[in-house]
Chain A
Amino acid sequence: MSDGPTRWHTTTSLGRALSVAGVGIVVALVAGRPGVVVVVAPLLVVAAMALLHKPTVEPEVFAMIGHRQLHEGQGTRVRLETRDMDDVEYLTRVMSPQPFVALNPAQGTVGQLVAPGDEILPIAVSPRRWGTRMLGAEKVALTTPWAGYRWGPVPFLAREVGVLPAVSHLRSGGEAPQPIGLIGGHRSRRDGNGTEFSSIRRFHAGDRLRRINWRVSLRQGDLHVESTRAEEDTAVLLIVDALADYGRSEGIGSSESSLDVTVRASAAIAEQYVAGGDRVSLRVLSPGGEYAGYGTGTRHLRRILILLSHIRPGVPRDVEIDQIDFRATAGTVVVVISPMLSEPLATATVRLVRRGLPVIVVDPLPAGSTPTVYPDADELVSDLAWRMRLLDRNHLLAQLSAFGCPVVPWNGPRTLEEVLRRLSRRNQLPRVSG
């Protein structure tokens, strides 16, 4: 028990029972009305029983949250650990609602009769949107038998929980157009030690004997071997446009803003490529300038997801977007996730295309989304301005396509597959140089 002041205090119920009964008895005595004593007698009994259960022990209550990091849509439980609950009959928990946090029970209120050894009912919380969420802010009140005394309500502060974007765990069927790494899952343009058939050619010194195709060798009179394509990994650069957020966000499974789609698409693409053994880098265009260099493995993926969850939309300070060196070496697949409402970013994208890099633009702008405008803005004017911006955007996207940069709307984790196949086929075609 703490040495500080007690948190037990009498309830208004006890005060009411005592005061009404007291008034009744005084009135009965003064006016000589025995019937009034009968009317208030039960209240006296209730008050007496409440007083008999006056608490003597200061309970201890601790709130605990199951996880410090979650993916959006996942859930955890906020539990209460209690001590010295001998005087307690009823426990009330009230968790305050937070934006993008679902509660179970839905209203965040729990009440239960407490007996020694009973487990306190937990409240389940589930963050519905990536980012940093405050979970577990609640008030706890304890009541003695006959409701004469109440402990609290004692507030418990919310804890900060990092909410990572959801990942799909889908393995992409798309192959990188120009894999240049050492080992990996992508079919290379050059021959090497792989499993996919490339051609049958004459035997050279150094070829493995098990590669000899005896049927062709007997027919041709010379030794011939089967050659295979090498399998290599690739580098993927994710350029994430967090310059602004368009549309309304209502959490996972509901309507999404452009930044929601951007973050979830980035997470899904990063997860797919990292799971395939590829090197993935992240560059976020935001005031925070989140950046992750090329890396692979689950730890690197987690780092990328954490960076994505820290994104705050806004224009980067102290840096011109079209002057950024994106550090994309030859063969790197560049995925720009942007609604392309920024001309400098479009210029930067064209620069990457002109360097011969396979660049794909993923459009995260949800249909019908509108920007947030000042409350006192003229609705007609803002609507007209937005339509003009959309026209500019369509023009920009058409120009990017003309430069050889495919633009695809985000349509789930398999969005890039078909585009990557097309890019691979295009890279295998003969080119006229000069």
Chain B
Amino acid sequence: MSSSGMVRGAHRSVWVLRGVLLAGAVLALFAGVPEGYDPPVALVVFVVVSATLSAFRPEHLSLAITMVAVVVWWAYAHDTEMPVAVLVAAAGLLATHVAGVVLAYGPPSLPVAPEVALLWTGRGILAWVAALVVWGVARTYTGHGTPAVFWLTGLAAALVGAVVAGAAVPMRGQGTRG
């Protein structure tokens, strides 16, 4: 290792972040194993290889494909139950995404400052709370005999609505400058 913290062309902190990205994807894939949802070997190989490539090229489409593969696996393998494992999977997927975001800030030689790591850890925890809330709501309504599709549609509509509203709402100072 060089004195400037560089290891094989990348800063040491970048290697850590690459590890987080890979571990997050693997964690999201394997979160259901304790409940008997073993992912097929081909999928594991695909996710590991794809996540590894994405760790080196965080702005590449491969990272999105990796995450979509994990999401589709969860849709395919799991039924309408709401196990705790989905919270773990959500955390893993979020960790992968956040690691990709921070890695995309600059080239591999750019060290990840502690304040940046702290900022995004906080944001990640805040975002994960949304999963917790949705999970809690879903668990609450599971035993009430309401068709799953109703509350599912409601939740999805609320989330999409929030996103659309966020995009449509005038931003700070819009129209006053420029």
Contact = CB atoms under 8 A, between A and B. Distances in A.
Interface in A18-60: 18-21, 23-25, 27-29, 31-49, 51-58
B68 A23 contact: yes
Contacts of A28: 75, 152, 156
A86 interface: yes
Contacts of B71: 20, 23-24, 27, 36, 39-40
A17 interface: yes
Contacts, number: 208
Contacts of A44: 130, 159-160, 162-163
A234 interface: no
B104 A36 contact: no
Nearest to A44: B159
Contact of B89 (A12, A39, A45): A39
A112 B89 CA distance: 31
Interface string B49-81: 000000000011101100110111011101111
B34 to A, nearest CB: 15
B119 interface: yes
B36 to A, nearest CB: 14
Interface in B57-112: 59-61, 63-64, 67-68, 70-72, 74-76, 78-83, 86-87, 89-91, 93-94, 97-98, 100-101, 104-107, 109-111
Interface string A1-20: 10000000001110111111
Interface in B95-153: 97-98, 100-101, 104-107, 109-111, 113, 115-116, 119, 123-124, 126-128, 130-131, 133-135, 138, 148-149, 151-153
State the main secondary structure of chain A at its contact with B. helix
B155 A37 contact: yes
Contacts of B127: 42-43, 45-46, 49
Contacts of A31: 75-76
A82 interface: no
A90 B159 contact: no
Contacts of A19: 64, 68
B28 interface: yes
B149 A32 contact: yes
Interface residues of B, number: 77
B39 to A, nearest CB: 14
A240 to B, nearest CB: 38
Interface string A96-139: 00000000011111111100000000000000000000000000
Given A19-B68, A92-B106, A48 B156 contact: no
Nearest to A6: B178
B1 interface: no
A56 B178 contact: yes
7 contacts: A32-B149, A33-B74, A34-B148, A35-B81, A43-B67, A45-B126, A56-B173
Pairs A-B, 7 closest by C-beta atoms: A107-B109, A42-B127, A1-B178, A109-B110, A45-B127, A35-B86, A51-B166
Interface of B: 4, 6, 11, 28, 59-61, 63-64, 67-68, 70-72, 74-76, 78-83, 86-87, 89-91, 93-94, 97-98, 100-101, 104-107, 109-111, 113, 115-116, 119, 123-124, 126-128, 130-131, 133-135, 138, 148-149, 151-153, 155-156, 159-160, 162-163, 166-167, 169, 171-175, 177-178
